[in-house]
Structures are given as C-alpha cells and as structure tokens.
Structure 1
C-alpha cells in the first residue's frame, strides 16, 4: 500500500478567528472552472456546472465546491470556486475533513464484523463495554447504529464545550470521550425513538475494539481502507491536514471568509467524525458501502430497515435512518449514504442501492439548519439536482 501522505506543517493562512466562529464550530463537531475528465471519464454536464457555480456565487456561500460522480467505469468531476482563496481549483485528490460521513465508516467496520459473526446487532453495551454506566447496558449495537439508543451526546456537554473552546487543538483521549456524559441518564428508552447523537458511533467503535482486541484504526485499515483501495483516507489525532487539501472557511456575512481548516483536531470527534479523506476516496467508499457490497444479504437487509430520522445536516429529499446509513428519497429516486458538517466543510456521499453509481459532493463551508438554514435549503436543492443527474444517466 502506498505510504500515507504527510501532514502539512505549513501554518494555515487565516485571519484572526472571531470568538463566535470558535464556539459555533466547536459545537457542531470564484469563477467557473472547467472540470477535467478523469482517466476514462467524461466532461461535466453544463447544467451541473451552472448549479454548482450558482451555489458558490451565493452571498456567504462556500468558496469552493467539488462533486465526483462515478457511473460504472466512468468518472465525472464538477467543480467551482477555489481550493484556497486566491489559489487553484479544487481537485478530487485534495484532502478534506469528512465530518459525520465518518459515521458510515464506523458502520462499515461494525457491520463487516457482524457479517463475520464477530459482533451481533443485538449485542449490548453491557456485554461488550461493562465499564460504561449501568443505565446504558441494555443499549444494543443496532440501536447505536440507528441513533435510537438514547445515549446523551458528549459533544453537547458543557465540560466538552469548555475544553474545546479554550483550546481548539486540545488532544482528547478519544476512547474516553463518553466520560463527558457518563453521569447522565439515557434520554429515552432505547429503541423508542430516533435522536442523532455523536456518542453512538464512539460506542460502536469501542464495541468493535472490545470484540476484536484491535484498535479501531487498525480495523478501519483491515476492513475498509485496504479492501477498497482508499490510500488517501486516514483517522488522525491532530489538527493538521495532509497536503494538498481543500481549505475550509467560515463565510458568515458581512465579514470576509476566515480559514478554519485546521481550527480543530480530530481527536475530539474520532469515530464519530474525525476521518480525513478525498473526494475520490469518498466516492469509492460510498459506492461500496451504500451499494451494499461490504456485507452479505442478511446483514444488508438489516442495515436497510429504516425509521423516520434525518442525517445531520439533512440530505436531499426525504430522509430516513438505517444502520449507519440514510435513505434519501428524491424526486428522481432513492440513494443511500450519509452527510456531515464541521468547521469549514459540509459533505454528502451517496450511492444507488445496487452500487452502480455514486456521488461525493463537498463544499468548503459548514452549512447546518441551526446556523445557515437558507443556505442549507439551497445546498440540498443543488444536491438533489446532482442525484437526479446520477440516476437519470442510468435510465432511472
């Protein structure tokens, strides 16, 4: 396997951060450029170029955006804006934070272990992680993967917020992130309703470690990176990003954009949102994972049993929650995948149910319902157009 890219130690060229940027991002855990066709690929459709450019040109919109569409052996790249203010266009090999799309990776690890009989979907926290609070012991792996566990969200705790606000580069002990809410009761009876929680995927990774005796990072490499050839994907602990990378920005009007690419380290998100990847790798991953190619039919059927629930941020169309996978029902059809957002980045990664086609859609601005509702609505509309292009090309 080729060596991992070395993290950049070049300081991030950023203006002094506004205090509100640090707090808001901490709580969340320029012109049209022609898209080159990848080897064996095709030029991007003009309507997609226009839609992406309009998103970048929106006041307060992301400085850069890139979409990788994979259909069979063909790859199409659509991009607008820049990878860094004053610099070049985004590339499919640029590194970026994939935020909560990392939850799909922890789901891939857990479900592959289930497929092999190492873990069971009805295994409980008490069986695998008896050191966690007794009140949590009845929670199952299935409920963790579907966000129906009732575990309180560690990233919303006052103690966690205080640490990351005081020192955004603080290095957490990732395997003790749940300590921040260990004194809290479950929010509801496990399995009774849906509530998105970053704590869920921390517990998923810990259960995978307990079942195998291997660190989660090793499980990612063995079960996901290597089988899929994801040579530019990693789970770091620090705040630096490998070169080259897409620079992420806070673009809150009327202030000028602020570079927040290296504002936070990954240790405080870990299995819930710490993975760094590239648009090309993310598209390859979701094509296999969303397309059901990593597990057998029995596990895949369980994974695709959906309840009402939205990813964070909401993806295109109507959302429903499976096991570390969301169903997005658009006006053109259904795709499976995951979204994510963190300081400077918002992600969508989806695939057709058969894995025949996939889309990785990345913008260099954090967009969420709580902070930028109008921009999120516009982003979701553009994402739906790209999903329709993906499905229409396959004759759906």
Structure 2
C-alpha cells in the first residue's frame, strides 16, 4: 500500500498543489517562537510592511510550517508603496539543526518551464520557429506529432501521456535516484501509452510537453538547452545564481531536501538525487534574489516582443476556477508565474501586475500535508493577508494523485 501511494505521489512531482481549504490563523501569542532570519537592506530595500501585517505573516507562516511538517521556509513578498517582507525560518538540515538561510540555492522544479518556454518564444520572435508548427518538424517519433503543435505543448494541451505517470518510470527512478536520464529515455516511458486525448481538446499538465520543447530549442539553435538558457535568458536578465545543471550538481549553500516519494513510503533525504529526468521541465536551480527578479521579467515580457508576450498570456481554462494556463505560465487570480515541485523541494515564483507585487516561496520538502502541497498552503495563506482580492492557488499544475 505504501509503495503504491509513493508511486502515485511521484506522478505529481513538479506540481504544486491540491485543492485547498482555508486555514484558521492563530493569533501571534499562540504560535511558538521559531528561529527567524530577517532580510537586510539589500533584501528589503523598500522597508518593512506595517507591524501588524508583519506580525500576521510571521504567525501564519509559522503555523502553516508546523502544521504541514515543513523543515524550512524562505519567503519574500515585495509590495511597492507598502513595503516588503523577507524571512527565512525553520531548519535547512534536520540532522544538524542548521537554520534556514536567505541565501540558499533551491531546486525550483517546474519554474524551469518558464525559462524553457521563454527561450522558445525568443525563437518565435526571430521567426525561426512558429507556434503552430507541428512538433514532428523538429522531433521524430512523437505520437501524433504531425498534429501536435508547439503551442499545444506549451499550453499543456497536447494529449501526450505524461511520462511521470508510467509505473516503470516511477520504479526506475525511485529504485536508483542517482540514475541519469536522457530526454529521449524519459519520453520513451510516456510513448508506451496511447495519447490521453486529441491535440488541443483539453488541459492536462504534463512534463512530456516541456521535455519536447527543450529538444525543439536544441534542434533549432544547434546548442545545448543549458547554454541557450544561460546566454539568451539568464545573462540578459542578470540572474547570476540560476542554472540548468547536467546532473545532480547543486551549488552551495543549499538546504537539505526531504521527500516521502520513496519505494518504502518513508521520508528520505533527496538532496543529491539526480534531477536529469526532469530536464527542461524541472531541473533548474535558483535563489531568492534571482527568483524575485525573474518573476517580474517573466510577467511583463521584458525579453519578448509585445505581440509574443500577448500570446503567452492568452490563458485558457484549466478546470480550476480563477486559474488559467498560457504558454508555460500560470495565471491564478491575477498572479502570473509558476510553481514547482521536485523530490525534496517546492517553489512558488509569481508576480501580480495589478499591484506590481512579487511573491517567492522556497521550502525544503515536497511531502504533502493532508493531501495538499505545502508551498501552495503557504502561498494561499500569505496572499490571503497581503493581497486578499488576489489569493494564489496553484492547483492547475497538480495532476490527480488518486
């Protein structure tokens, strides 16, 4: 039973989160004090939020962290004209008790998708690819590839079976987490299955789509995806602590990551697991400062033409009220960006144009709490305080775990 449960959970990696229920917020006096590390001037140049707002955030984040069993949390909230809130709380290492730090590097899971699709859309601006080109023009062997377009891949409407749902893939990954997967090897697990629906018929979140787009970018540019992203996206954005690693490389400092997506169903330290299986869909590493900068660049389309950014933000329904999905980007109640989950780590990186606000959350576990992703629990609780008219919910990127 435990083994089956862990396999079902693995099918939902690189996603965050399940449908949420509101959390009751305890008053400050009822929340036990935790080690909290506050940002310096460079982290919060606008100055802090009002004391009562800061107090509510402190108590709410700590309550969610304890209830959800999250070891450590890094949160950054920037609200121009109101101030900002930058905190690290909890532990980066359960074994040593080392505190969580603001400068940790983080495996960012599906936030990677925003970088891959940005590289693709730059090629669209250069007229080197067309969004309505069939994927078969660039990659051979894709089921129904002559009818699936690059646009449908980017908006999660291809119908391709998600390779992470394949039981053999789940077993092979969990039995040898250090194993290296090529993109073609990962995709092959999904190709064993019939497509789940016809191209463009509906929304289904699938890593197969983004791995294919990574291969398209490589085919068109003649370069490794990591090099394309570094030169075309990271460098002009001045993101100096972000990278797409080849294997399990993980620059210091980083927190230890903990997951219950294991064959035994128990919790393990997954810090050094090889994320190559996620590649263009979820293998990147970043930090708080870079993610803050990237959220605004992504949402405002600074690296793209206005016409292409308009297409990117033309979101379609996902089946979740208030939430749509565009070209590698989530729009949930006005928050634009993406979340990410990979064994041991979860991230939320979003920007709210209506208030020019930015929210970044990084945690060192992907273990669900009562069927809900802890990063989304935190994001929902935080935005309920700071932007009550725009409450974040990343449910659209969570496949059914049942």
Shift of 1:387: 5.5
Shift of 1:275: 0.6
Deviating 4+ runs (over 4 angstroms): 18-26, 71-75, 255-258, 374-377, 389-392
Shift of 1:203: 0.8
Where does the alignment leave 5 or more consecutive residues of structure 2 unmatched?
14-32, 392-402
Shift of 1:134: 5.2
- Residues 1:38 and 1:111: Cα distance change in structure 2 (over 3 Å): farther
Match in the other structure for 1:151: 160
1:320 to 316, 320, 324: 324
Shift of 1:285: 1.2
> For 1:40-78, what per-residue CA distance to the aligned partner results, in whole angstroms no more than 9, with x for missing partners?
3423622222221111221x4201111123456976412
Secondary structure of the residue aligned to 1:155 is: helix
Q: Please give the residue correspondences for 1:73-152 in structure 2 after superposition, counting only pairs within 5 Å.
A: 76-85=85-94, 86-129=96-139, 131-133=140-142, 135-152=144-161
Q: Please give the residue correspondences for 1:304-319 in structure 2 after superposition, counting only pairs within 5 Å.
A: 304-309=313-318, 318-319=322-323
Aligned 8 A contact 2:79 2:355 in 1: no
Aligned 8 A contact 1:51 1:382 in 2: yes
Match in the other structure for 1:61: 69
Distance in 1 of aligned mates of 2:128 and 2:145: 21
Match in the other structure for 1:33: 36
> For 1:124-156, what per-residue CA distance to the aligned partner results, in whole angstroms no more than 9, with x for missing partners?
112122x12352221111111110011111111
Match in the other structure for 2:25: none
Shift of 1:176: 3.7
Aligned 8 A contact 1:38 1:75 in 2: no
Secondary structure of the residue aligned to 2:277 is: coil
Secondary structure of the residue aligned to 2:209 is: helix
- Residues 1:71 and 1:373: Cα distance change in structure 2 (over 3 Å): closer
Shift of 1:207: 1.1
What TM-score comes out, normalization by structure 1 length? 0.81
More displaced 10-residue stretch of structure 1: 215-224 or 28-37: 28-37
Distance in 1 of aligned mates of 2:385 and 2:246: 33
Match in the other structure for 1:345: 345
Aligned 8 A contact 2:301 2:309 in 1: yes
- Residues 1:159 and 1:337: Cα distance change in structure 2 (over 3 Å): same
What TM-score comes out, normalization by structure 2 length? 0.80
Shift of 1:390: 11
Secondary structure of the residue aligned to 1:202 is: helix
Aligned 8 A contact 1:72 1:356 in 2: yes
Q: 1:384 and 2:383 equivalent? A: yes
Shift of 1:282: 1.5
Distance in 2 of aligned mates of 1:290 and 1:166: 39
2:305 to 280, 296, 302: 296
Secondary structure of the residue aligned to 1:351 is: strand
Distance in 1 of aligned mates of 2:221 and 2:384: 42
Q: 1:204 and 2:213 equivalent? A: yes
Higher relative contact order (CA 8 A, sep 6+): 2
Alignment root-mean-square deviation, CA: 3.1
Match in the other structure for 2:195: 186
- Residues 1:144 and 1:327: Cα distance change in structure 2 (over 3 Å): same
Shift of 1:291: 2.5
Match in the other structure for 1:360: 360
Match in the other structure for 2:174: 165
